[in-house]
Structure 1
């Protein structure tokens, strides 16, 4: 009788998951219709500005800009450029609150009233660095600590940190030495561009979307700045997220509509189901980017006051990319020493990239040479990745055996 009971549960779970994916698909269609329709209305405005550091007056790139109505519903959002500039388009008439956030700075809220179709220029907006002066330090909690070892640093979050974190990105953002990219939910070690993220010591194909990990499932985080030969020397830094082996029973659904205006969408849904020693997971992400990038660089070489050479390079790229990313699998915690995992990745991407590059060389203010190139690539891409992972912890501390197919 017991096997039949499990079969009924699994069949019921499959029906729930199928309904959820149908709802998600319908939601994306409705969102797309809404924004297409709103873009055609005439009573819409544009809001722009530039975010600066109040102390040194320098631009702040990659700051998070979000626009809410008076009911605290998200209307639009953006990420500042490397010059600190942002622009919110297709804003209907109404009263709003503009929220500005950036790691290491105080949050700032600005009231914005849109009365008619116009361009609202907020100009220079200064935000303050956040400092905290501690006169006394009191350590509470049973597990909150930071350990420094020869080959790695280990961060173990305490209960308060986990409860105050809405997502894994929030939790990792509190760890010294880590930098969070809110645009695509990735994390890296500061100063180590070639960083990869492992889950329980396993690389799960491509960049790990940390938004799919619940803070309460994280046991500890290992930060490895100089990986040993066992990682094949492929990466300059490794962030290993160790999950708790105790599985939370029941069904968990996470939905994040990460809409950053018409130029960027990273909305996703994550489903987890725990039963005894097994954690099943499945997630879907709708990916859309339409980012024009203009970059100008120059190099001047001077021999004396009268003779010099200047090379000016201008590069323009526009990328439009639409994708559907699926991931599924399960973790099986056989016992305290043995762990088994299966993960499957399936990605469908349609990309259209155009670009132009122009290089000019001047000798004493006279154009000496000019070189131009135009580029375009487009097509559909299908990527699949499947992995089977087994880990056995040995008796000696930090010693284990793994195999990955």
Structure 2
């Protein structure tokens, strides 16, 4: 009996030594917890082993890791990815508090003169060319010219989605933004666009995340207008945007309206009903022409 107990204790000790944990905490440059970041454990040749996401307080834990050589890859939209070497991992390790740097500082005021794309394991980086910038009216319209895969852009209402019906989360410098804020962007302000599919729990059910990395001006502002108007009928879509910067503060506004004016509306309706005995009943409806006016307005102010 003692031998059996001793053998079980030895087996438990061996399993404990073979399967260890890796834990730590993730913060941003302001030392604030960074939730819902992707934490992936890879082999030295970048093969996936296991992964998780950080909690509300930025904490993470990878369990039941056997001894070996690994690389810890940590990424989050709007931040520079971090890679940590875990060569010769054997025991449970606490990597401590790790800091992700703001990706908006990565290129500073570098001007990209040619269109290029950089593909990473977790996202694509797209640098708009001068031709694409000059052909775009605003941030949403720019997406049409970048021709991102599986992306659907509606120029009429400014909506952005995926071809499979899933939603797209828009961001500006890593912060969640509305389509009105993106519409207010001037194309020449955009340094690059980060495109990530299947972004994780941080963005809910979003099928992709589009993050605009833009220049920040300390003093100044911009105003823009984008609109369409039919010359033969009362159909129009008009959008007015503006933004004012002062040091670390920014105030932006957005106003839009859609006008639909019908000079004449009428309908002709013919119906035929067939009963069980084979008899039929015919009904026709006619309406006199009349007029109809529909005006939709929307707006937003952000600070």
Fold-level similarity (TM above 0.5): no
Q: Structure 1 length normalisation: TM-score? A: 0.34
- Structure with greater contact order relative to length (CA < 8 Å, sep ≥ 6): 2
* Pair member with larger Rg: 2
